[in-house]
């Protein structure tokens, strides 16, 4: 296999880390929403925690994306 | 892609470093002028009953002030100018990038990494200035059994030093991916529309998607600026109050 083709495949595979990020972000926002529906008055106070969780979940996926970018352009 | 290309407008060298004035620099200067100009113009009357423009300026101020107060506490208000400048700068750069034919400064990782590295440096310096070597206790959460320490400390160290990377990549990846996606779908519209006959009508579907997605991109532009500043507040809170 040519090196260039292998690089492309590798970058594509590295992007699969974003599957986990998608599941995680959906989980966080879904649970926040269902919690907010049960107790709407407590929802605004937890908005920061929501964003922290969102940021952490996204960060793990972004590392995969970073690897993909390094493979492609590094 | 054409929209991400950096063009040198004025060649400039500082001590052998390439510090040319590029189209990226133009948009940073433009953003700064817009922010300063808007805030000065909106607040020129300083009326007790604000006009619409003055309300916008005051709401932005109150929004960030509340964020800093809630997340960092009253001590954090010393860092309010820093956080406010970060938020408004990133927000305006993101929004300027949404103007057709303009340049998105935040879609370049070196820009976001410089911002994140600045936050990281400030937070680390503040932590050591306030707590001395006690700041190192950040890497050792309370109530951890002694035999877990060899595991916990490296994890905490890594998660601390990975902060500037995840902080910067988040903003960069979101802005770049959004603009790339719009470009790809614009390619679909042209591609399907150029087939000819009835099939050309199929190009309407990606066009509608693009309209919706452009709206979503404005939301992302705001949300990413917000997340960047909220995380800055959380890191500052770690350094100032050391609740861990």
pTM for the structure as a whole: 0.85
Q: Which of B171, B231, B237, B244 to mutate to test the interface with A (most CBs of A within 10 A)?
A: B231
User: Residue holding tokens 């087939």?
Assistant: B195
Cross-chain residue pair A62–B71, CB shorter than 8 Å: no
User: Residue holding tokens 């996204």?
Assistant: A58
Q: Which residue of B has its CA nearest to A59?
A: B166
All structural domains of chain A with their residue ranges: 3-73
Cross-chain residue pair B170–A52, CB shorter than 8 Å: no
Token pair listed for B45 = 């009357």
Question: What are the residues whose beta carbons fall under 8 Å from the beta carbon of B234, sequence distance 6 or more?
Answer: A48, A52, B71
Longest Cα pair distance anywhere in chain A, in angstroms? 59
Cross-chain residue pair B169–A62, CB shorter than 8 Å: yes
- The alpha carbon of B244 is separated from its chain's Cα centroid by a whole number of angstroms, namely 25
Q: C-alpha dihedral over B159, B160, B164, B167, to 10 degrees?
A: 60
CB-CB contact of B143 with B83 (8 Å): no
Q: What is the pLDDT of residue B221?
A: 92
Cβ contacts below 8 Å, chain A against chain B, sum to: 33
Let me know if B123 is exposed, middle or buried by CB neighbors in 10 A (0-12, 13-18, 19+): buried
Backbone angles phi, psi at A18, to 5 degrees: -70, -15
Give the closest of B170, B227, B231 to A62, CB-based.
B170
Q: B-chain residues within 8 Å CB-CB of A65?
A: 169, 173
Average pLDDT, chain A: 88
ipTM for the complex shown: 0.72
Q: A-chain residues within 8 Å CB-CB of B170?
A: 55, 58-59, 62
Q: B-chain residues within 8 Å CB-CB of A59?
A: 162, 166, 169-170
A34-45 mean pLDDT: 90
User: Cα–Cα distance between B82 and B77 in angstroms, integer?
Assistant: 10
User: Cα–Cα distance between A50 and A56 in angstroms, integer?
Assistant: 10
Q: What is the pLDDT of residue B90?
A: 95
pLDDT digits (tens, 9 = 90+) for B193-232: 888 788 888 888 889 989 998 998 999 899 999 999 999 9
Q: What is the pLDDT of residue A19?
A: 92
Cross-chain residue pair A59–B166, CB shorter than 8 Å: yes
Q: What is the pLDDT of residue B60?
A: 93
Q: Which residues of chain B have pLDDT under 70?
A: 243-244
Cross-chain residue pair A63–B166, CB shorter than 8 Å: yes
Cross-chain residue pair B169–A48, CB shorter than 8 Å: no
Token pair listed for B216 = 């979503």
User: Cα–Cα distance between B205 and B19 in angstroms, integer?
Assistant: 44
User: Cα–Cα distance between B173 and B179 in angstroms, integer?
Assistant: 10
Token pair listed for A4 = 């260039």
Q: What is the pLDDT of residue B61?
A: 93
Token pair listed for A43 = 């929802």
Chain A nearest C-alpha distance from B225 (Å): 12
User: Cα–Cα distance between B70 and B235 in angstroms, integer?
Assistant: 13
User: Cα–Cα distance between B181 and B190 in angstroms, integer?
Assistant: 14
CATH of domain A3-73: 1.20.20.10
The answer to whether residue A54 neighbours chain B at the CB level (below 8 Å) is: yes
What are the residues facing B13 on neighbouring strands? B18
Cross-chain residue pair A63–B227, CB shorter than 8 Å: no
A30 vs A49: which has the higher pLDDT: A30
């Amino acid at each position: 296999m040519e090196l260039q083709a292998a690089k492309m495949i590798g970058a594509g595979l590295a992007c699969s880390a974003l599957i986990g990020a998608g599941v995680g972000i959906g989980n966080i926002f879904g649970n926040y929403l269902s919690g907010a529906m049960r107790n709407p008055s407590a929802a605004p106070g937890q908005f920061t925690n929501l964003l922290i969780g969102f940021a952490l979940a996204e960060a793990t996926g972004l590392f995969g994306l970073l690897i993909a970018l390094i493979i492609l352009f590094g | 892609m054409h929209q991400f290309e950096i063009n040198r407008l004025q060649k400039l060298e500082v001590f052998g470093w390439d510090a040319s004035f590029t189209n990226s620099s133009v948009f940073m200067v433009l953003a700064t002028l817009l922010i300063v100009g808007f805030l000065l113009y909106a607040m020129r009357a300083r009326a007790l009953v604000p006009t619409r423009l003055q309300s916008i300026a005051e709401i932005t101020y109150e929004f960030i002030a509340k964020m800093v107060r809630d997340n960092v506490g009253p001590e954090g208000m010393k860092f309010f100018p820093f956080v406010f400048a970060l938020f408004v700068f990133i927000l305006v750069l993101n929004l300027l990038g949404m103007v057709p034919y303009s340049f998105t400064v935040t879609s370049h990782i070196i820009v976001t990494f410089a911002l994140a590295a600045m936050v990281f440096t400030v937070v680390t310096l503040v932590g050591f200035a306030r707590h001395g070597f006690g700041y190192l206790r950040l890497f050792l959460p309370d109530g951890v059994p002694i035999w877990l320490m060899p595991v916990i400390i490296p994890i905490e160290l890594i998660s601390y030093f990975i902060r500037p990377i995840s902080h910067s990549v988040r903003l960069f990846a979101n802005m770049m991916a959004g603009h790339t996606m719009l470009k790809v779908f614009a390619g679909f519209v042209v591609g399907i529309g150029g087939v000819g006959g009835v099939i050309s009508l199929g190009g309407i579907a990606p066009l509608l998607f693009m309209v919706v997605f452009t709206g979503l991109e404005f939301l992302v532009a705001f949300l990413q600026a917000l997340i960047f500043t909220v995380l800055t507040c959380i890191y500052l809170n770690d350094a100032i109050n050391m609740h861990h």
